[in-house]
Structure 1
Amino acid sequence: MSTYPTIIPRSPLGPKGTTSPYYVPPLLARSSDGHMEQLVEILSDRRGCLIIGAGVSVSLADNEENKRLVTWKGFLDRLAQTVRDMLGLEESWYEEVKAMLDVDPARHREGTVDRQYALRLDKAAEMIEHHVNTGHLGGSSDPFMRYHHLVFKILHRLRADRSSPIASLLHNLRTPIFTTNYDVLLEDATGRFTLSIEDLLKAQRAYRLKSDQHPLAQHQQYVFHLHGIFYDDPERKFVLTAREYAITIDDFIMALKPVLVDVGSKVKTGGMAFHRSMVFIGTGGTLQDIHFTSLFAALYEHNVFLESNGFERVLHYVLLNETEATHITDFTFEDSLGRRIHAHELLVPVVYGKTYDDLPKFLAVLVKKLDEDEKSQSNVDSVNGDDEDYAPASKDKIFGTGRGTVESDSDAGPMSPDGHVPRPSYLRKVKGHVRRRSSLSTEYVDPDLQSVPEKRFQTKGA
């Protein structure tokens, strides 16, 4: 049965000529070329950023126990066991928490996981937090210090399987990586560095940064943690329960939205801001948490503004397998006027295969096409004599608009440590009112993962 609400207001973002209020874009079949081409175009023009969830951490963890631990359910279960053992709580309390964490196996196999499951997880987190706040844990009178102690105790032994193909594939997409995970498996696997949402907020508030002095300018070398880091400064808060989600909404949007909508580039584009599309991988129910639904509402209203001024709306992509595609993006959120907006007005579900095991193959195809596109464009620029556009810029930059050296992408930034020259600017194309359409083949093939290029941003001498 459909889970759409009875009435969804007609969105100005629906396709022209469409009268149905239920706009649901077609899913990406394995022989389809539309969404793969869109992803290639977005990523090749530095207009994408990855939002990575626990699903990816599962594939990166080095053993089965850790694979369970990096999921939200597995983490809460271990946290509940630790609190029970340290405080001597009755087994009935733990069983009550565990019951809230369990999913009906039949519903899970059918891909129809109860929509109230996220609420049950939050209730379980609140039950755990209550005892963390009132019990004597970690040798501190500060409840958060006690919780911080427990999280570190649970997660500090996590290690990544660096031979996992998905690690190099994610890094070779050469885009900013954001994650909602506490763990640092992504950094361990890809060789990137760790930065928290507080660091990102400082960059947005400072606004102008020296690209050769500030580490955030090289954002492709980092993984940004949106909900906290397990070993971080205890003064920085984790996002665990609905209360923490509610009080950190503004910080979350203030940190992420300027990366997605960079008004600092308007002067270079004749009034049009630089936009990025989010590409969600392994996020699952994260899409429906209060942080992302609030962000979606802001981005939806910005899309209304764009279309009313003659610009294309900006869509965001969710990579899913065939089972997930039936329900992950089937939800609504409220705009600032309280109207229910369906997620498909903003999110495009992209099916990469039948199971999660097909994700590395899909990403390998994407990386291969990006490399082919880069070589093709480099040849075109060489013929057209565009080499002067690659001169390193020394002026102040604004963090957030592509390649990492960023007042605007109309100026090329410095070379990467391995001497790789950045791609030509997307904003240069906007100024010329030209939107290149890739002629890449879109046939879905099973690639030889050994042919995937090695990481581009390795340290010299490594």
Structure 2
Amino acid sequence: MSHYLREQAVRAIREGNAVFVVGAGVSLLASGSAPAASWLGLIQSGVERCADLDPSLKKWRLDSLKILKAKDASSKVGVAQEVKDHLEKAPGDQYADWLAETVGALPIANRGILDALSVPRTPILTTNYDDLLERASGKNTVTWDRLAEMQHEIRMPGSSIIHLHGFWRRKESVIFGYRDYSNILKDQASQAILRALLSFKTLIFVGFGQGLSDPNFSGLTGWLTSTLSDTGVAPITLVRDEEYKKEATKYRQIGINAVPYGPEYGDLESFLYGMKTESQGPLAQESGVTFSWEYLSPTLKRFHRRIQQEFSPDFILSISGPGDYAPAYCLAHVNEEVPVLPAVTFPRVMKDGGRRDSFRAVAVRDGWIHCQSTKWDIFLPNLVRDFPDGAHALIFDEEATGENAQLILADVLTGFGYDVKKAALVIAPECETYVDFYDQVVAGKFAFPW
């Protein structure tokens, strides 16, 4: 992966110079792979609906389903046009009903990917017809044929999602068949806005899993080479590792930089959250920050996934008390058996140190390791010595706020020959230099539900 291109994208987001262009892959991830979330799945649904409404279309149905299995994207667009024509000819408002019952009824099964795209000062443009982004963010909907509203959102982003290919509630705005694609390309006002936007903003394409074969993607990028050749602002598309290996050269030929986000589609969420976190400064609120279970549940799942991809710990050393919640709750969301060893801690300054002294006697008797940080007496279970040389050891606490406990523990584990990384859900700004994995930087007070 090009670290420069990734940093370029992060910098554009931080400076308010980025635009997310969202494809069907995001809706698939958010909806739990609902068939109608993909463009191809939606066409297949339309074919079945047409044949159900009109039994004389039995042969057409079989022929259409064969075409949808082929590689030719233009033929698939042709089938989409036929679906629209048949539904509009049927008695009643069948086209609108079908849109409402498919893309209009997608569930939110994974909110995390939608939240990852919610970044201040960053407009969201989408080729999707659904309202998943609106439902997750509370934003309004703007379609490509509402020029003034598009202009307002681009100038002052944050209130709306711009639907480049229409929205299911406004069937006349939906770009589905080849005649629709032709019409939108002829709409000079919307095209002029997009070209102006592309000339000074960094576009980040997200969720175009079919890449160069996706007609929604190619419809947006076919003119990039000629339009943007002299601007110096090249769009970025986020792709799986496999697609990057196969298609990176072709992307460059049309003026787009491809950046791989990981081997699996599910890795996209973690990649986006990583960029989002790096693009934002520390959270600093006078009244403090309160993290809810609703926020923490997907966060911990995503957080552990990123750690597993980049480090894959052989064991986790947690800090006793509230600090145990983070790794325990994190691992409850995944099907992985990673041993968690709690380090028992007591404040170094205690009004009544009897309980600490009693535990120290037991710990010393059983060969536990005793060390001290600025604020804590720390006892490590004796089996922490017994992992193989080079084992991946992850120190995982709920917070790192400037106290040196993680650094002390890292020195101990490194002394045993382990490869050591440090993780915390929330860190203070001064801890960014030594904590390897974190979710939020908070300058000030914060609270967890536990």
Alignment partner for residue 99 of structure 2, among 151, 164, 167?
A: 151
Matches for 1:80-99 after TM superposition, within 5 Å:
80-99=47-66
The match for 2:21 is: 51
Q: After TM superposition, where is structure 1 displaced by more than 6 Å over at least 4 residues in a row?
A: 441-445
Letter in 2 for 1:315: A
Alpha-carbon displacement from aligned partner over 1:336-373 (angstroms, at most 9, x marks no partner)? xxxxxx74351000001111121122122212211248
Q: How many angstroms apart in 1 are the aligned matches of 2:61 and 2:434?
A: 50
Alpha-carbon displacement from aligned partner over 1:193-239 (angstroms, at most 9, x marks no partner)? 2111122x2357xx7xxxxxx6775322211001111012x5x3321
Relative to 1, partners in 2 of residues 1:255 and 1:215: Cα closer, same or farther, differing over 3 Å? closer
Matches for 1:125-136 after TM superposition, within 5 Å:
125-133=80-88, 135-136=89-90
| Higher Rg | 2
Structure ranking higher on relative contact order (CA contacts 8 Å, 6+ apart)? 1
**Retained in 2: the 8 A contact 1:364–1:452?**
no
**Retained in 1: the 8 A contact 2:282–2:441?**
no
Letter in 1 for 2:47: A
Higher strand proportion: 2
Matches for 1:113-262 after TM superposition, within 5 Å:
114=71, 116=72, 118-133=73-88, 135-138=89-92, 146-161=94-109, 164-172=111-119, 174-199=121-146, 201-203=147-149, 217-232=155-170, 234=171, 236-251=172-187, 252-261=190-199
Alignment partner for residue 69 of structure 1, among 14, 31, 36?
A: 36
Relative to 1, partners in 2 of residues 1:256 and 1:302: Cα closer, same or farther, differing over 3 Å? closer
Q: How many angstroms apart in 1 are the aligned matches of 2:210 and 2:202?
A: 19
Q: How many angstroms apart in 2 are the aligned matches of 1:444 and 1:293?
A: 41
Shift of 1:188: 1.2
Question: 3-state DSSP class of the match of 2:158?
Answer: helix
**Retained in 2: the 8 A contact 1:367–1:452?**
no
Question: 3-state DSSP class of the match of 1:230?
Answer: coil
Relative to 1, partners in 2 of residues 1:49 and 1:86: Cα closer, same or farther, differing over 3 Å? same
Q: How many angstroms apart in 1 are the aligned matches of 2:46 and 2:434?
A: 45
State the number of aligned residues: 294
The match for 1:366 is: 275
Alignment partner for residue 100 of structure 1, among 46, 56, 67?
A: 67
Letter in 2 for 1:69: A
Q: How many angstroms apart in 1 are the aligned matches of 2:169 and 2:441?
A: 33
Shift of 1:82: 1.1
**Retained in 1: the 8 A contact 2:82–2:177?**
no
Alpha-carbon displacement from aligned partner over 1:378-421 (angstroms, at most 9, x marks no partner)? xxxxxxxxxxxxxxxxxxxxxxxxxxxxxxxxxxxxxxxxxxxx
Question: 3-state DSSP class of the match of 1:239?
Answer: coil
The match for 1:319 is: 238
The match for 1:400 is: none
Report % sequence identity: 24
The answer to whether the aligner puts 1:279 opposite 2:179 as a matched pair is no
Relative to 1, partners in 2 of residues 1:443 and 1:289: Cα closer, same or farther, differing over 3 Å? farther
**Retained in 1: the 8 A contact 2:143–2:173?**
no
Q: How many angstroms apart in 2 are the aligned matches of 1:193 and 1:352?
A: 29
Q: How many angstroms apart in 2 are the aligned matches of 1:42 and 1:301?
A: 23
- Specify every segment of 5 or more residues in structure 2 that has no aligned partner in the other structure, as ranges: 285-431, 443-450
Question: 3-state DSSP class of the match of 1:59?
Answer: helix
- Specify every segment of 5 or more residues in structure 1 that has no aligned partner in the other structure, as ranges: 1-27, 104-113, 140-145, 208-213, 262-274, 307-312, 332-341, 376-440, 454-462
Q: How many angstroms apart in 2 are the aligned matches of 1:49 and 1:326?
A: 25
Relative to 1, partners in 2 of residues 1:157 and 1:348: Cα closer, same or farther, differing over 3 Å? same
**Retained in 1: the 8 A contact 2:144–2:173?**
no
Q: Give TM-score, length-normalised by structure 1.
A: 0.56
Letter in 1 for 2:46: L
Shift of 1:48: 0.9
Q: How many angstroms apart in 2 are the aligned matches of 1:299 and 1:443?
A: 41
RMSD (CA atoms):
3.4
Matches for 1:417-436 after TM superposition, within 5 Å:
none
